[in-house]
């Protein structure tokens, strides 16, 4: 089922208004399993809009427009679409009364041109707008669905959530589920998925990378709910077996939520000492309700002197191996663990760039050390990207190592 989103307005074409409607609609449609193949933007020109609508009608099954439903002369979306589909316009008395009541209740003065918003193409239905005067419009024609929504994002989003989702899902069932992975790149994951060859005529398996994690999304569509249910179940079982070492959760749960819940469940106390990430790991964890029960402390030891004073890292270690080394990472974690009543201590140090003080150590070099009562290990990584991306990837990797040691 091919979908096209058309955003209408000269202010969008000129760059005066950021087109957030495309972002919102594409994301929501993907969650519903609807394939958005085309994004089109057009100015308030009836000739160009007519051409865009004709093209969309010929190549797409669902067409969603935003903008051009207001009371002014420039607002001509429904008028142009009516001409393309050869439909006459008619005044809807109930909608006219509804618009008048909105003005009365808001103590506003209604202009004559607001009556324009109560017209609709014959055979179409209005989509209720509870916070604005421009109703949406729904048209079915030649097994295609055409949905007209107002341009203001606040109105459009509410109407989509309240009404449009049900309109799109009518006549067939859609189900989606997500498997969330960490510790495996999207290219490797996709390569292994291709070998599994799991797609069917009803169900698709897609991947979406998200800053160090990869979402595997299973999307199934069919009139028969049992077919959907069984296909998703079977595919999910295959994926769980194939990627069991990398799966941390389902349906887009955050990695930090999983970690805090595991810590609480197992009654494990965690402490961190961060250098390269500067508190980013602890910032993720403390966003989760209940973190105070199991997350004891985080020390940002960014300078060499702070590593010595706060964690007991030896000056000789820093001089011989440098602050970015497995030896320093180990002494950081060891110092934190021995000085505090912790079950797990994690340290992290690295080079985020853009400049660094050693030609022998590349930007993106990161060491993570984890120490427990029965376990000590230092991990070495080389991350690509700019400073911000290296720090984000370091944070995700540290969280993943915490998750794995808990389990």
DSSP state letter for 91 = E
- Does the CA dihedral 273-276-277-281 come out positive or negative? negative
Supply the pLDDT for residue 125: 96
Query: For residue 382, what are the domain limits?
Result: 255-406
Q: Provide the pairing of β-strand 62-66 with 144-149.
A: parallel
Secondary structure percentages of the chain, helix, strand, coil, to 5: 45, 25, 30
Task: Please choose, from the candidates 119, 219, 240, 116, the residue with its C-alpha nearest in 3D space to the C-alpha of residue 169.
Answer: 219
* Residues 83 and 226 both lie in one domain: no
CA–CA distance from 104 to each of 72, 97, 98, 100, 123 (Å)? 20, 10, 10, 6, 29
pLDDT for position 170: 83
DSSP string, 122-171: TT-EEE--SSSS--EEEEEETTEEEEEE-SSHHHHHHHIIIIIHHHHHTT
CATH code of the domain in which 200 resides: 3.30.70.2860
Q: Are residues 277 and 386 in the same domain?
A: yes
Residues linked to residue 90 through DSSP beta bridges, in sequence order:
120
Query: DSSP string covering 314-359, please?
Result: -HHHHHHH-SSSHHHHHHHHHHHHHHTT-SEEEEEEE---S--S-T
Residue 282 sits in the same domain as residue 215? no
Please tell me whether residues 150 and 274 are part of one structural domain. no
Q: Are 11 and 32 in a shared domain?
A: yes
* Tokens standing for residue 77: 């979306």
Q: Supply the pLDDT for residue 179.
A: 97
Is residue 243 domain-shared with residue 268, that is, in the same domain? no
Neighbours of 224 (CB within 10 A): 11
Q: What b-and-e string marks burial along 125-149, b requiring 16 or more CB atoms within 10 Å of the CB? A: bbbebeebbbbbbbbebeebbbbbb
11-19: long-range pairs with CB below 8 Å, 24+? 12/41, 12/43, 12/67, 13/41, 13/42, 13/43, 14/43
* 77-84 and 46-59 helices, crossing angle to 10°: 50
Beta-carbon count within 10 A of 396 CB = 22
> Using an 8 Å Cβ cutoff, are 74 and 45 in contact?
no
Give the tokens for residue 210: 């998200």
Do 329 and 349 form a contact (C-beta atoms < 8 A)?
A: yes
Q: Provide the pLDDT for residue 357.
A: 58
Both tokens of 84, joined, read 């393309």
User: Looking at residue 356, what is its pLDDT?
Assistant: 63
Q: What is the mean pLDDT of the chain?
A: 93
Residues of the chain with pLDDT under 70: 356-359
Integer Cα distance of 75 and 10 in angstroms: 11
201 phi and psi angles, rounded to 5 deg: -70, -20
Global pTM value:
0.75
Rounded Cα distance between 263 and 286, Å, is 13
Domain end (from 169, 188, 208): 169
d(CA 340, CA 256): 22
Does residue 191 share a domain with residue 76? no
Last residue of a domain, one of 190, 224, 250: 250
Using left for φ > 0, alpha for ψ between -120 and 50, and beta otherwise, residue 312 falls in left
Q: Are 162 and 128 in contact (CB under 8 A)?
A: yes
* Backbone angle region of 106, left / alpha / beta, with phi > 0 → left and psi within -120 to 50 → alpha: alpha
203 and 163 in a single domain? The answer is no
DSSP notation for 258-311: HHHHHHHHHT--EEEEESTTTTHHHHHHTTSTTGGGTEEEEEE--SHHHHHHHH
Overall domain count for the chain: 3
Residues 329-369: pLDDT tens digits?
A: 999 999 999 999 999 999 999 999 987 655 689 999 999 99
pLDDT at res. 9? 94
- Out of 144, 169, 194, a domain closes at 169
> Are residues 324 and 400 both part of a single domain?
yes
Question: Residue 25 corresponds to which tokens in the numbers above?
Answer: 């609609």
Residues 353 and 282 grouped into a single domain: yes
Percent of the chain with pLDDT over 90: 81
User: What was the pLDDT predicted at 317?
Assistant: 98
């Amino acid at each position: 089922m091919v979908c096209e989103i058309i955003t209408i307005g000269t202010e969008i074409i000129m760059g005066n208004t950021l087109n957030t409607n495309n972002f919102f609609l594409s994301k929501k449609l993907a969650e519903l399993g609807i394939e958005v193949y085309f994004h089109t933007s057009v100015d308030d020109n009836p000739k160009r809009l007519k051409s865009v609508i004709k093209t969309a009608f010929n190549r797409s099954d669902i067409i969603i427009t935003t903008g051009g439903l207001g009371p002014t002369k420039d607002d001509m979306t429904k008028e142009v679409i009516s001409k393309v589909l050869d439909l006459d316009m008619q005044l809807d008395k109930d909608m006219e009364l509804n618009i008048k009541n909105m003005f009365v209740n808001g103590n506003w003065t209604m202009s004559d041109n607001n009556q324009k918003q109560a017209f609709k193409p014959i055979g179409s239905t209005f989509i209720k707008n509870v916070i604005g005067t421009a109703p949406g419009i729904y048209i079915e024609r030649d097994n295609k669905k055409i949905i007209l929504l107002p341009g203001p994002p606040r109105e459009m989003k509410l109407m989509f959530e309240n009404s449009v989702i049900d309109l799109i899902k009518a006549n067939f069932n859609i189900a989606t589920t997500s498997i969330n992975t960490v510790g495996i790149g999207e290219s490797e994951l996709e390569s292994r998925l291709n070998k599994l060859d799991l797609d069917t005529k009803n169900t698709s398996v897609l991947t979406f990378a998200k800053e160090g994690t990869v979402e595997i999304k299973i999307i199934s569509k069919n009139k028969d709910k049992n077919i959907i249910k069984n296909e998703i179940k079977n595919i999910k079982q295959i994926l769980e077996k194939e990627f069991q070492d990398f799966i941390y959760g389902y349906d887009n749960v955050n990695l930090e939520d999983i970690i805090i819940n595991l810590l609480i469940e197992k009654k494990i106390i965690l402490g961190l000492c961060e250098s390269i990430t500067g508190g980013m790991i602890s910032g993720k964890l403390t966003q989760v309700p209940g973190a105070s029960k199991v997350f004891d402390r985080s020390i940002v030891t960014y300078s060499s002197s702070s590593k010595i004073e706060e964690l007991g890292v030896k000056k000789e270690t820093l001089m011989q191996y440098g602050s970015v080394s497995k030896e320093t990472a180990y002494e950081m974690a060891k110092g934190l663990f021995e000085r505090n009543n912790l079950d797990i201590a994690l340290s992290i140090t690295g080079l985020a760039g853009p400049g660094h003080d050693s030609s022998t150590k590349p930007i993106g070099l990161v060491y993570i050390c984890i120490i427990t009562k029965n376990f000590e290990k230092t991990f070495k990584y080389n991350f690509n990207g700019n400073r911000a991306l290296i720090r984000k990837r370091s944070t995700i990797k540290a969280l993943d190592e915490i998750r794995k040691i808990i389990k």
